[in-house]
Amino acid sequence: MNTLDKFQAEAKEDTMIDMMNIHDKQMRLPAVKHKWISRLINAKRVHARRGGRKRRTIISLVEHMEGEMKVKVSKPQLIRELKLTAQLLL
């Protein structure tokens, strides 16, 4: 079960309502809202961290390749080729 499936199961549990527990759900609504907002913020942080790591890796590979290559190739072309190669490897 991946993370999205877990979140969907929790969301379904959080939104189940019957007449007996409407007041209880109303009282817990702010806490549930904060829970999902904090999860969203954490997911954004993880995504940003991975993006930064990816950019640093690409930059270091470009610098390494520029030093090793005998033929001059522009940086944008090297970056494009690295991204294409990385997609093929996945």
The whole-number average pLDDT for the span 21-41 is 87
Residue boundaries of the structural domains of the chain: 3-89
> Per-residue pLDDT for 26 more than 70?
yes
Q: 43 or 13: whose pLDDT is higher?
A: 43
Give φ, ψ of 23 to 5 degrees.
Answer: -65, -40
pLDDT surpasses 70 at 68: yes
Q: Are 79 and 58 in contact (CB under 8 A)?
A: yes
Where are the strands (E) in 1-90, listed by range?
none
Characterise 72 by phi-psi region: left (phi > 0), alpha (psi -120 to 50), beta (else): beta
* pLDDT of res. 89: 65
Buried b (16+ CB within 10 A) or exposed e, 23-53: eeeeeeeeeeeeeeeeeeeeeeeeeeeeeee
